[in-house]
Amino acid sequence: MRALALHPDVLVVSSALLQVNCVIVRGGAVGDDGLGRPSGAATQAAGGADGEVFVIDSPVLPEELDALPALLEQASFPQPSGLLATHADWDHLLGRLAFPTAVLGCGEATVARLQGSPGEAQRELREFDEELMIERPRPLSLGSVQALPVPGRVDVGDRELELVPAPGHTADGVAVLAPWAGVLVAGDHLSPLELPSLGSGGDVGAYRETLERLRGLMGRADHVVPGHGPVLDCARALALLEEDLAYLHGLADAGPDAKLPAGRRGAAQRRLHAANVAALGRAR
């Protein structure tokens, strides 16, 4: 597991497996806590962690999840008041294994997907763990999932996270912008490690629309965090965006004969491309 500070209020934790990115965002405290007790600077001066924290998505391995509370403490971040997931794929839903009392917030489409396929994420996690012989101390429980309007905003202390529709990879994707920190969390889009992929409810047209929406947000960001792979500066993210758009246009027009982007033409990417062709055929 690697941890990277993108801003005094933003940490990125990258899992050693699948290179899944977990983004930890802090907003400053506001006034008192509603019970007449001081927060903000007074809390910090007293030795406590200042502000409010949300954890977006999750790492994968049990030891990485177990390390998250200590990592926040070392960074002088408070323990999270909430979790966010960019979509309902199992590898983005594991935050409650690290913070079992935190409420998981998701876009309304993600909540609908979870309710429409109860237990799917847990089954897929069990299958993944069995294949790789991973043991977890407890099963995944999502608890009571809070539906969030998208587009919309979520308060994190004295700041706001912006929730932006990002379907394409799946039907329920959400991107998250932390505008004061210049960080855009793109969900499973703009990965330099893999082709655009059509997962649960994925759609080529929606994917292209999401990429154009992300392009519009990059003027407000210094860093783009994909769901999988290294953090990008905006110049690299824009270059990937153009490559992904070209691939998606080719997929729609030429199907199996679409040209794969340079650097993403290995055997694993060809298998992913074949899965995209099959998904596109089913959609038609």
pLDDT in tens, 209-230: 999 999 999 999 999 999 999 9
Residue 36, by phi and psi: left (phi above 0), alpha (psi -120 to 50) or beta?
left
Report whether pLDDT(48) > 80: no
Q: Distances from the Cα of 118 to the Cαs of 13, 141, 201, in angstroms?
A: 28, 11, 16
The mean pLDDT of 163-169, rounded to a whole number, is 97
Banded model confidence at residue 34, pLDDT cuts 50, 70, 90 = very low
| Cα-based torsion angle of the residue sequence 175, 179, 183, 184 in order, rounded to the nearest 10 degrees | 20
The mean pLDDT of 139-157, rounded to a whole number, is 95
Percentage helix, strand, coil, to 5, in the chain? Answer: 35, 25, 40
CA 282 centroid distance within chain: 27
Q: Which pLDDT score, from 0 to 100, does residue 50 have?
A: 75
Class of domain 2-191+222-233: alpha beta
The mean pLDDT of 28-40, rounded to a whole number, is 46
Q: Which 8-state DSSP code applies to residue 46?
A: T
Q: Are strands 52-56 and 82-85 parallel, antiparallel or unpaired?
A: parallel
Report whether pLDDT(43) > 60: no
pLDDT tens for 88-146 read 999 999 999 999 999 999 999 999 999 999 999 999 999 999 999 999 999 999 988 99
Report whether pLDDT(278) > 60: yes
Q: Which pLDDT score, from 0 to 100, does residue 30 have?
A: 63
Q: Which pLDDT score, from 0 to 100, does residue 51 have?
A: 87
Banded model confidence at residue 44, pLDDT cuts 50, 70, 90 = very low
Q: Which of 228, 227, 237, 229 is nearest to 182 (CA)?
A: 237
Report whether pLDDT(58) > 80: yes
Report whether pLDDT(40) > 90: no
Instruction: Give the mean pLDDT of the chain.
Output: 91
Higher pLDDT, 256 or 38: 256
Residue 278, by phi and psi: left (phi above 0), alpha (psi -120 to 50) or beta?
alpha
The mean pLDDT of 59-85, rounded to a whole number, is 96
Report whether pLDDT(32) > 80: no
Q: What is the number of alpha carbons within 13 Å of residue 34 lying toward its C-beta?
A: 0
Q: Which pLDDT score, from 0 to 100, does residue 157 have?
A: 94
Report whether pLDDT(237) > 60: yes
The mean pLDDT of 172-181, rounded to a whole number, is 97
Report whether pLDDT(47) > 70: no
Domain residue limits, the chain: 2-191+222-233
Q: Which pLDDT score, from 0 to 100, does residue 49 have?
A: 61
